[in-house]
Amino acid sequence: MQARLFLMGGYVYPPRPGYPNWGNEMDFNVQVDVRSAKHVIQNSKPTLIPLAVTVETSLRRACLDDLRMSGALGHLIAQQAEAFAADEKIEMRYGETCEGLPRDIINFQHDPLACAIALGWDEGTEIKEIPLLLKEKDGWLTERIHPSGKPIRIVTKVDGSRFSEFWINTIVNR
């Protein structure tokens, strides 16, 4: 029996309009080691949580005060978020240019979303089994929908605002 694996990564389709127009090259979790990723996906029963859905989540600047006041963990997350915001300038790069994101976005919640889905959170999510062909091409792993591909569970939709609210409420214990 194969264990169920949840993988934050995969680039099956591009993000929806209003979100960063990222391509396959932004899928660090899969592209950092193409051979290993291909092997894991082909030899397990994964659920992929691709960039196209994780990019719809956000940690907002408006949440930092609540985080700071919620104890040591929240305070640490707020400090790290402020440092990240200063370095990466996500607000300017994406908050001001992507209408689907809040203007005060500090960071995307890629890994928190993947963890929540792995733990059973499914509010506003859609998971479909989609046949994928995996190929290595020019050093990149590509995933293409094809009838002869391996059926793989893929999170195809998430209510990013709902998840972001759930995440902040969980961290600040509301």
Q: Which residues contact 152 (CB under 8 A, 6 or more apart)?
A: 41, 46, 47, 48, 129, 130, 131, 132
Q: How far apart are the first and last CA of the chain?
A: 39
Domain residue ranges of the chain, discontinuous segments joined by +: 4-57+108-171, 62-107
Q: Which residues contact 35 (CB under 8 A, 6 or more apart)?
A: 136
pLDDT of the chain, 174 residues: tens digit per residue: 556 789 889 999 999 999 999 999 999 989 999 999 999 999 999 999 999 999 999 999 999 999 999 999 999 999 999 999 999 999 999 999 999 999 999 999 999 999 999 999 999 999 999 999 999 989 999 999 999 999 999 999 999 999 999 999 999 987
- SS3 call for 102: coil
Mind giving me the DSSP string for 106-161?
A: EE--HHHHHHHHHTT--TT-EEEEEEEEEEEETTEEEEEE-TTSEEEEEEEE--HH
Please state, as a whole number, how many other Cβ atoms lie within 10 Å of the Cβ of residue 19: 20
pTM: 0.91
Q: Please check whether the domain covering 4-57+108-171 is classified as CATH 3.90.245.10.
A: yes
Cα–Cα distance for residue pair 25/7, rounded to 1 Å: 17
